[in-house]
Copies of this chain bind each other. A is one copy, B any other.
Amino acid sequence: MCEANVYLLEDDGVKTLLLESVDRIIPQGENLYLENIFGERKTIKAQIAEMALVDHKIILKP
């Protein structure tokens, strides 16, 4: 399957796994709505920093 793992890039450069196997991402103003293939949902105040889909990786930043 082609979902991606979403990480949050902290100020110290450390990437923390926020939600795995994310299928849907919908920007909502300053927030991002995340939904994964297990139906888990998160809304976080962050921006997309980079997406590398073949690597199943999406990096967010505060």
A17-41 near B? 1/0 per residue, CB < 8 Å: 0000011111100000000010000
Distance in angstroms between the alpha carbons of A52 and B24 in the assembled complex: 5
Interface residues of A (CB under 8 A from B): 1-4, 22-27, 37, 47-54, 56
Q: Are A3 and B49 in contact (CB under 8 A)?
A: no
The residue in chain B whose Cβ has the minimal distance to the Cβ of A56 is B2
The residue in chain B whose Cβ has the minimal distance to the Cβ of A51 is B25
Q: Identify 14 residue pairs between A and B in the complex whose beta-carbon atoms are under 8 Å apart, listed by A's number.
A: A1-B54, A2-B2, A2-B4, A2-B56, A3-B54, A4-B53, A23-B52, A24-B53, A25-B48, A25-B50, A25-B51, A27-B48, A37-B54, A53-B53
